[in-house]
Structure formats: C-alpha cells, structure tokens
Amino acid sequence: MNYFTRMIIVAGALVPSLMIAEKSPVVSSPKPNVIVIMVDDMGYGGVSCFDNRNFKTPEIDRLCAEGMKLTDFHSNGAVCSPTRAALMTGRYQQRSGCDEVVNADPRVPMHHIGIHADEWTFAEAMQSSGYATAIFGKWHLGYKPEFHPMRHGFDEFNGFISGNIDAHSHMDRMRVQDWWQGEALKDEPGYHTDLINKHAVDFIERHQSEPFFLYVAHGTPHSPHQARASKIQRGPDKGKIPDWAPEETYSKDRKSEDWLIRHFILPVDEGVGQIRAKLEELGIADNTIVWFVSDNGGTGGNFTTSPLTKGNKSQFYEGGHRVPGIVWAPGRVTPGSVSDELMLTFDIMPTSLDMSGIEAPEGLELDGVNLAGAIFKNESLPHKIRFWNMGSKGALRDGHWKIVVSGSESLLFDLEADPRETKNIATQYPERVTEMRRVYDAMLEETIADSPYTKPEKPKSKASKPAKKKN
C-alpha cells in the first residue's frame, strides 16, 4: 500500500458509511450505461473523500463510499484540452494534435486546432454500437464547425466549446457568446452548473430503456469563480446579479458557511447526487458505470490543490496531473474498495469499449488500457510506462520512478519514498535518468509523428543531463 493510498484511506475514514452491506460484485447484462463526470481544474483538495479540508462534498463522498477510490489516477494533461482529447480518443493527445490548450483568441495558432475528422472517438464508438450519446458542458476540442461534438459521435449537446465561460452570461474570455443547443449557438438562461445537471438528468430519464453514453463536463471549479448569486463578470450586464439568482451573499473566509468557493463547488456535488438518485429511481443503477475525474490539477485561486501533492495546474509535478478518481458501479465494484494502480484518463475509453463489447477498427491501437481487471476483480495491471508533455516540459513515470522534464534537464523522484517530490535524486542515479529521458524523448517523437497538424519544428532535445539537486 503506497503513501497516497494510506493517506486517502485516512481521509475516507472520516466519510460516514452510506453503503449497503458489502457483497461480491456480480457482472450485470451487456452494454452497460456509461457516464463520465469530468470536473475542471480540480486537484486532490477539491473533494472531501480525497483531501478537501475546508468543507464536505457529501454526494461525491457517497459515490466514493459505494464505489472504488482510485488513488493513483492521473489526467493525461496538466491543462484542459489535452486531457479531453485523450479521453475522447483513448490515445495520447499528441497523436490528435490537441496537445496544447485550444485557445479562445483567434489570433493565436492554437485557436484553429481541434479534433480531426479522422479520429475515431469514444462517442462514435459507443454510437456505432447502438448507444444514445450526449455531452453537456465543456467541449474545448475546437472552434471550427468540423470540430463540433455532434460531428464526432454525440447525438446531443448543450454547453460551451471554449475553455471557460461566465457562469451566468455564458461568454468566453474573449467576450464571445458561447452556449450551444445542439449545433445552434443559442443561449439558455441559467447558472452553468445547474443547466448541465438538468440536461444530464433529463437525458437519463429519456434514454432509460436503451444503452447510453453520457459525458457530463462541468466548467467548475475553473475560473471565473462564480456561485449562483455572484455578479456577472462578462458582457453588457457585467456587475449585475442575474434574475434567477437566490438571495445569497458570499464570504472570502474559508471557515465560513458562506465561503464563495464552497458555494461554487457544491452545485457540482448536488448534480452528482441527482444523477445517482435518478439512476436508482429508474432501476438502472446496476447496469451503469459512473466515472468521476478531473481534467488536471487544481489552482491556487480555486483552493483545490493539496499538500499531499506538489505543484498545480500546468505543472508536471504530481499536483498538476494526479487528480481525484472514482468509479461507481453497483453490483460490479466492491463498495468502499481502493485501488492504487496507475490509471490515466485515456484508460476510460478502452475499459468502456470492453464492457460494451466494442472492438477498435482494424489497425487502430489505443494507448489506454482496459482497467476492468483492476476495478472489477482487484487484479494488478500490466506494467506500463506513461508520459506527459506540453511544449518543452513534461514527465515520465516508470513504476515508482518519475522524471520531471524541463528543457534538457530532468529531475528524478522516487514516488514510493518521496510522494511529495521534495528530493531530486537525479545525481544519485544518472544512468536511470539517462534511460528514462531516452524513453521520454522516443515516446514524444513517436506520438507527435501521428499528429494531423503541421507545427513549427520543436528544438531537438540536447543530451539529457540530470538536474542538480534542489531542495
């Protein structure tokens, strides 16, 4: 049992038991419903069943108590778009060319990048097998019409395509209206989290008699940090409180019941509870698999970073990509179980395809692996080396060894002995650093070669050298 598992079990012990008597998981009928709930910019400190020390998230905690806690789950990227591309393709984001943030500013080259028509997406795979498919919330995989989610396997879409919107006016950071209903740019009054929750529950109700794939992509807790009664921050009504807002005022005091961040995150928690309750009400919970994950680590502004992990969003220390992970699947997952197997976002797709009896097209190899054995049978996963990259920075994980890359330098950490990455031991193991950096460079070169986009040639890595110890 590693350090994170020990610490997270301690945190989980504080969550009151909400489970029925434990029983051995029994695999249900074929074609289970699949729901992926992805929060935005949430680190370990975002939910109380992991390391939120400020307030409780009771519905997410219940999901965890009745399901499996994934203590070594990682986003594929340290920022938004790359992780979402990995989720949608089951492959490293470098292969699809979505390995950096798709930018809201049309003057920036990455504004014109998006998920290519040739990609075989998670939604297309499920759709081809008779699943009803929907995404409600954040897409962030391209602005052009050909990148729209309904061109990539989704039957329904209500949400936004940019990286973040005002929770009330639904304007992106360029002050452009960004709320879609289907393929039409058409606003819908309401608080963004409440709208996403409403559409998710309605979709489940309408498709209860057929298999469905539902992607619930929240914009919380990404900035702007707005609760239901916060002022509008973007657009002509800036400074006004929306008509639908409850009578609430917010505090900057973390210990207060009125703390803004608490009221910002708890509507997501409420939505998780609404989804679970609807599944149980309709009698389809036993044939549904729910994933709760984040697209990258937390930020200082949203207070979801954790002292258990070093770093934050956009960094390749653990705090940038080790995120909360939960699987809830009544009758399949042992309630209250914990896995410390290494898992990444792109593993969700191949796991779901296997559960649904769907095979990838001939010649297409997914980078993600099937997690069913680890999740449903408590088996160990085959050893896999994993890497992260954006620009000149990145990381590579080989068992408990990890290098963090910056240009030509490579820091080395032993996550088993030093999970908070406090001691760079690269100078003690120069041969290990050299070999891990060689693998990192090779994996990066091989995956980028598949990108459909021509990008300026990146500077070739100089011979890797161990970074000097910095404590």
At 76 the pLDDT is 98
Q: Is the pLDDT of residue 4 over 80?
A: no
Query: Quick one: 50 exposed, middle or buried, by C-beta within 10 A (0-12, 13-18, 19+)?
Result: buried
Q: What are the backbone dihedrals phi and psi of residue 59, each rounded to the nearest 5 degrees, phi first?
A: -75, -40
Q: Is the pTM of this model over 0.85?
A: yes
Q: Exposed e or buried b for every residue in 121-138, given b needs 16+ CB within 10 A?
A: bbbbbbbebebbbbbbbb
Considering the chain, what percentage of its residues have pLDDT values greater than 70? 90
DSSP structural state of residue 251: B
Q: Which residues have C-beta within 8 Å of that of residue 97, sequence separation ≥ 6?
A: 113, 116, 451, 452, 453, 455
At 455 the pLDDT is 57
At 30 the pLDDT is 73
- Average pLDDT, stretch 338-352? 98
CATH number of 3-376: 3.40.720.10
Of 459 and 45, more confident: 45
Query: Quick one: 260 exposed, middle or buried, by C-beta within 10 A (0-12, 13-18, 19+)?
Result: buried
Considering the chain, what percentage of its residues have pLDDT values greater than 90? 90
Q: 182-208 pLDDT, tens per residue?
A: 999 999 999 999 999 999 999 999 999
Q: 257-313 pLDDT, tens per residue?
A: 999 999 999 999 999 999 999 999 999 999 999 999 999 999 999 999 999 999 999
Q: Where are the domains of the chain?
A: 3-376, 386-466
Look-up: residue for tokens 């498709």? 207
Give the DSSP letter string of 33-49.
EEEEEEESS--GGGSTT
Residue 11 binned pLDDT confidence (cut-offs 50, 70, 90): low
Q: 74-132 pLDDT, tens per residue?
A: 999 999 999 999 999 999 999 999 999 999 999 999 999 999 999 999 999 999 999 99
Class of domain 386-466: alpha beta
Q: 369-420 pLDDT, tens per residue?
A: 999 999 999 899 999 999 999 999 999 999 999 999 999 999 999 999 999 9
Residue 9 binned pLDDT confidence (cut-offs 50, 70, 90): low
Look-up: residue for tokens 């998981």? 25
Q: Which residues have C-beta within 8 Å of that of residue 276, sequence separation ≥ 6?
A: 59, 62, 63, 285, 290, 328
Of 253 and 466, more confident: 253
Q: What are the backbone dihedrals phi and psi of residue 293, each rounded to the nearest 5 degrees, phi first?
A: -145, 170
Q: Is the pLDDT of residue 48 over 70?
A: yes
Q: How many other β-carbons are positioned within 10 Å of the β-carbon of residue 27?
A: 13
Look-up: residue for tokens 């193991």? 429
Helix (H) or strand (E) holding 412, with range, is: strand 409-414
Q: Is the pLDDT of residue 161 over 90?
A: yes
Q: How many CA atoms lie within 13 A of 28 on its CB side?
A: 17
